[in-house]
């Protein structure tokens, strides 16, 4: 099958072993992430996704915030493993933080009361699509990344540190960098059992 989009989709993998030297310029990474966020779909074209790209020391600041928060709650015997896990995220070139602007979601709920109960769910669908676009677009320029979720532990501190609006809800953190080691082998369930074809 000749489909460059699907080739990029297959190229996207979870990369944990990251290096700090990017295979492309910072500007290219920034433009790639901006374009992924700009073109991703959202419910009612509400464009509620927000992102903050942290490079170098700014990214290190984030992973220190995460580590400090984790050290308050992880059992002592897991502290060393936790430190080395976070150190791997910290060793990349940067991190994209992905948010949803809940003031946009609230406005949709107010403006379209008959769909009120759906907008929070659709906001989550939308952020997933945006995250996928960013992750895949980075893979396409040979930048490795993974998807992390520490928002509940660090959201307040993150808003304070980078002066972000209180309506921005932190959904995911995507550490990225050069690919030091490729992702491990991935197995797939038989596609015929997952995708049925009728007619």
Question: Which chain residues interact with ligand FMN by CB under 6 A?
Answer: 13-14, 146-149, 183, 186
Nearest distance, CB of residue 13 and ligand FMN, angstroms: 4
DSSP 176: E
Looking at beta carbons only, is 48 or 146 nearer to ligand FMN?
146
Nearest distance, CB of residue 62 and ligand FMN, angstroms: 15
Nearest distance, CB of residue 18 and ligand FMN, angstroms: 12
Looking at beta carbons only, is 8 or 148 nearer to ligand FMN?
148
CA distance 167 to 160: 12
Q: Which long-range contacts (CB under 8 A, 24 or more apart) does 161-166 make?
A: 161/61, 161/62, 161/65, 162/52, 164/52, 164/99, 165/101, 165/103
Looking at beta carbons only, is 113 or 184 nearer to ligand FMN?
184
Nearest distance, CB of residue 68 and ligand FMN, angstroms: 19
Looking at beta carbons only, is 116 or 149 nearer to ligand FMN?
149
Looking at beta carbons only, is 116 or 124 nearer to ligand FMN?
124
Nearest distance, CB of residue 85 and ligand FMN, angstroms: 9
State the SS3 of 18-81: EECCCCCCHHHHHHHHHHHHHHCCCHHHCCCEEEEEEECHHHHHHHHHHHHHHHCCCCHHHHHH
């Amino acid at each position: 099958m000749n489909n460059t989009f699907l080739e990029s989709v297959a190229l996207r993998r979870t990369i944990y072993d990251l290096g700090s030297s990017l295979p492309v310029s910072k500007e290219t990474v920034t433009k790639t992430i901006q374009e992924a966020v700009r073109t991703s779909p959202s419910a009612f074209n509400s464009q509620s996704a927000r992102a903050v790209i942290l490079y170098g020391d700014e990214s290190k600041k984030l992973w220190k915030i995460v580590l400090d928060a984790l050290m308050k709650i992880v059992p002592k015997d897991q502290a060393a493993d936790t430190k080395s896990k976070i150190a791997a995220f910290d060793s990349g070139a940067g991190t994209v933080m992905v948010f949803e602007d809940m003031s946009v979601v609230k406005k949709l709920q107010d403006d379209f009361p008959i769909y009120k109960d759906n907008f929070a769910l659709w906001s989550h669908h939308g952020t997933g699509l945006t995250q996928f676009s960013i992750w895949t677009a980075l893979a396409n320029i040979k930048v490795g990344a993974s998807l992390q979720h520490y928002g509940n532990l660090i959201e307040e501190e993150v808003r304070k540190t980078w002066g972000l609006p209180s309506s921005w809800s932190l959904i995911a953190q995507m550490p990225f960098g050069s690919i030091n080691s490729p992702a491990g082998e991935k197995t797939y369930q038989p596609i015929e059992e997952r995708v049925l074809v009728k007619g």
